[in-house]
Amino acid sequence: MKHMAMYAYIDGTTNDDINDNGSIACQLDFLQQTNVDYDAYFIDTFIGASRARFQLQKLLMIVKPGDMIDVMDVSNMTSNIRELSSLLYYLDDLQITIYSDNVELDVGSIREYFTIAMMCRAEKLTMMQQELNRKKMCHLKRQIDLRRNKENKRDITRNDYQIYNMLMNSDYRTTQRKTGLSRSTLYRLKKRIQKRK
């Protein structure tokens, strides 16, 4: 009868704190409490920002259909949901069983869960982007409205009223000559004062 191998996979920091789930010490303790005689342990140690999983790659090169992998947390096997979803598809094709938290996990259902999670995350990011765009548009509209209101509510001086009276008692050309203002400036001044009345 063909021997089915049982492997343990661990990745994490060299932190010796047994209560820190991200430490190798904690994961080793967790797996050793299962009292399983593993064929081999594969341990990836994270140093600094590096999250390379060379030992996992070695493990994936030797597993055969029917083999089992024990890992404290299945999400530790990759850096993100997309990679995890791809890995779970691969393991499902190989007919590899994963154990996690002392419970046998059906790779197909985990794969579906993480695929759904990945889709939800993508949808959430899209919604966040849309919300950000909406806020930017609201902010831009508010800025435009403030500028327009500022122009409309600009203080009208006594001099402005004098120019306005001059314009109302003559024409644009005469007022332009006397004040040195352009026709468009006189027109805006006229409209602004008329709005106040």
Spell 85-111 as b/e; 16+ CB within 10 A means b. Answer: bebbeebbeeebbbbbeeeebebeebb
Q: Which two tokens stand for residue 73?
A: 């947390």
Model pTM above 0.85:
no
CA-wise closest residue to 76 among 17, 119, 18, 26: 26
Quick: pLDDT tens for 43-100. Answer: 988 877 777 889 999 999 999 988 888 888 787 788 777 777 778 778 878 888 777 7
Q: With pLDDT > 90 as the criterion, what percentage of the chain qualifies?
A: 7
What pLDDT is stored for residue 102 in this prediction?
A: 42
Q: Which residues contact 122 (CB under 8 A, 6 or more apart)?
A: none
As a whole number of angstroms, the distance between CA 186 and CA 163 comes to: 8
What pLDDT is stored for residue 158 in this prediction?
A: 75
β pairing state of 68-71 and 6-13: parallel
| Spatial contact of 40 and 7, defined as CB atoms under 8 Å apart | yes
| Spatial contact of 10 and 73, defined as CB atoms under 8 Å apart | no
| Spatial contact of 24 and 55, defined as CB atoms under 8 Å apart | no
| Spatial contact of 85 and 114, defined as CB atoms under 8 Å apart | yes
pLDDT band at 191 (very low <50, low <70, confident <90, very high): confident
Quick: pLDDT tens for 127-186. Answer: 767 777 788 788 788 877 777 666 555 566 778 888 888 888 888 888 888 888 888 888
Quick: pLDDT tens for 118-128. Answer: 555 556 666 76
**Burial label, 82 (beta-carbon count in 10 A; 0-12, 13-18, 19+):** middle
Least confident among 36-40, 146-150, 193-197: 146-150
What pLDDT is stored for residue 187 in this prediction?
A: 83
